[in-house]
Amino acid sequence: MERDRDQMRWEDLTSGEIDKFDRTTPVVLNIAAIEQHGPHLPVNTDALIGGLFMDELGKSLGDAVLILPQVKVCCSAHHMDYPGTLSVRHETLIAYVGDILDSVAAHGFRNIVIVNSHGGNKAVGQVILEKFGAAHRDCRVVFLTWWTMAGKELAAIRESGFGGVGHACEFETAVLMHGVPECVRTDLIAGLSYVPTYSWANSDMLSAGRASLYRSMREISGGSGVVGDASLASADKGKAITDVVVGQLSEIVSSLRNAPPAR
């Protein structure tokens, strides 16, 4: 079977093929989630979205990038009220992802990008970045969350008002309508779902609160499991979101390849 040269997946290559890569080649790891996404999206939504972005990044950059196996089960304790959610402790994820990245660094690769596709990973991802970066001063390591990275461009695409993008929302539903349409239960899509709280803590994907307040997904969604307005999703919007995110991601990843060595 002929290997697709546009999909530079670490696990699809032989040891010898990986060894031929220049060690400045950026290595990308997607961390995602397996958690409930309301009645209309599957529990692997964040993994599907992250996988779609990795596929498109591979097509865009070819052998100028290496893509690691996804870490699908991450930190989703705030979704555990809902059946199907899988979660690990923050300490577990820090250790597990750190061990993976230690292996990458041991093989001589020095440019590493962690791409996050799950809100519950944002804080722990920053800890992984700081912990690994301090231990590997000769590496350049980046952590990003897709909707934060492309926030300005995504704001121009959204149609909903505040609260319309959050979880199983206008954005996530649209991306899957574009990339994996068969997984979307379109007959179960409802309108806006968001339970407000203190004015200083209200937030959505593109609008941070002035301070953080812990609330479970049941509290934020009023029990629906959805935060946002999935009724505004469409396949065309999903393509626009994907194009914007992959374009921004490709720019960041490519910039690392020709950067001066890390110190």
Tens-of-pLDDT digits for all 263 residues of the chain?
344 555 689 999 999 999 999 999 999 999 999 999 999 999 999 999 999 999 999 999 999 999 999 999 999 999 999 999 999 999 999 999 999 999 999 999 999 999 999 999 999 999 999 999 999 999 999 999 999 999 999 999 999 999 999 999 999 999 999 999 999 999 999 999 999 999 999 999 999 999 999 999 999 999 999 999 999 999 999 999 999 999 999 999 999 987 766 66
Q: What pLDDT, on a 0 to 100 scale, did the predictor assign at position 110? A: 97
Q: Is 249:153 a contact under the CB 8 Å cutoff?
A: no
Query: Smallest Cα–Cα separation from 170: which of 119, 121, 146, 205?
Result: 205
Query: Smallest Cα–Cα separation from 109: which of 121, 98, 101?
Result: 101
Crossing angle for the helix pair 45-61 and 170-179, to the nearest 10 degrees: 60
pTM: 0.95
Report in angstroms the alpha-carbon separations of 155 from 30, 104, 207: 23, 35, 10
- Give the span between the Cα atoms of 183 and 177, in whole angstroms: 8
Q: What pLDDT, on a 0 to 100 scale, did the predictor assign at position 3? A: 47
- Give the span between the Cα atoms of 98 and 252, in whole angstroms: 21
Q: What pLDDT, on a 0 to 100 scale, did the predictor assign at position 262? A: 64
Q: What pLDDT, on a 0 to 100 scale, did the predictor assign at position 258? A: 75
Q: Cα 91–97–99 angle (5° rounding)? A: 100
Burial 46-80 (b: 16+ CB within 10 A, else e): bbbbbbbbbbbbbebbeebbbbbebbbbbbbebbe
Place of tokens 């970066």: 133
